[in-house]
Amino acid sequence: QDKEKLEICKLNDPPSAETVKDMIKYARNVIEEFRRAKHYKYILCLTLTPLLELLEICELSLDKMGAVFEDSNVYMLHMMYQAMGVCLYVQDWEGALCYGQKIIRPYSKHYPSYSLNVASMWLKLGRLYMTLKNRTAGVKALKRAIAIMEVAHGKDHPYISEIKKELEDH
């Protein structure tokens, strides 16, 4: 699956090996820069301005990497996941949902069928849909999360009961 995880944009004039190598180096550096900035900004108590700066790092790097990498590329997915996290923290539900929708299909390809990473993303999407009053999509996403979690944790796990109760309450 390495080829899928490092997928390059399908262009008429594909990027050179050197361009791809440089973009991988850039991606690794920006991920490290984001981690440092995130740590530093958490120490500063996370006011809105530093959070928006973190989101800007994500968006700028996604734009730059998107010229070479497909959205399913692990470097793109990493930055989308970080951007989603910032959106969730600042309660930008639409922004978080947009990133989550881009993430879920590649996650479902890259991870095993019953991966808790995939279940966690379905859970987040389900809750976002519910928050945004899209009950149909929310129920569908939460049921997908439950189906994976029942295999991974067992049908009697308290967390699954909690999600089922959440579904009943909506």
The secondary structure of the chain, three-state, reads: CHHHHCCECCCCCCCCHHHHHHHHHHHHHHHHHHHHHHHHHHHCCCCHHHHHHHHHHHHHHHHHHHCCECCCCHHHHHHHHHHHHHHHHCCCHHHHHHHHHHHHHHHHHHCCCCCHHHHHHHHHHHHHHHHCCCHHHHHHHHHHHHHHHHHHHCCCCHHHHHHHHHHHHC
Q: Amino acid letter at 8?
A: I
Q: CA 152 from chain center: how many Å?
A: 20
Cα–Cα distance, 6 to 47 (Å, whole number): 35
Report pLDDT for 49. 60
Comparing CA positions, the residue from 133, 100, 131 lying closest to residue 117 is: 100
CATH among 1.10.10.10, 1.25.40.10, 3.30.365.10, 3.40.710.10 for 1-92: 1.25.40.10
Q: Amino acid letter at 80?
A: M
Report pLDDT for 48. 56
Report pLDDT for 5. 82
Report pLDDT for 93. 98
Just give the CATH number of 111-169: 1.25.40
Report pLDDT for 11. 75
Cα–Cα distance, 113 to 61 (Å, whole number): 29
pLDDT tens digits in sequence order for the chain, 170 residues long? 566 788 888 777 888 999 999 999 999 999 988 888 776 655 455 555 677 788 999 999 999 999 999 999 999 999 999 999 999 988 999 999 999 999 999 999 999 989 999 999 999 999 999 999 999 999 999 999 999 999 988 899 999 999 999 888 87
Ordered by start, the domain boundaries in the chain are 1-92, 111-169
Report pLDDT for 118. 96
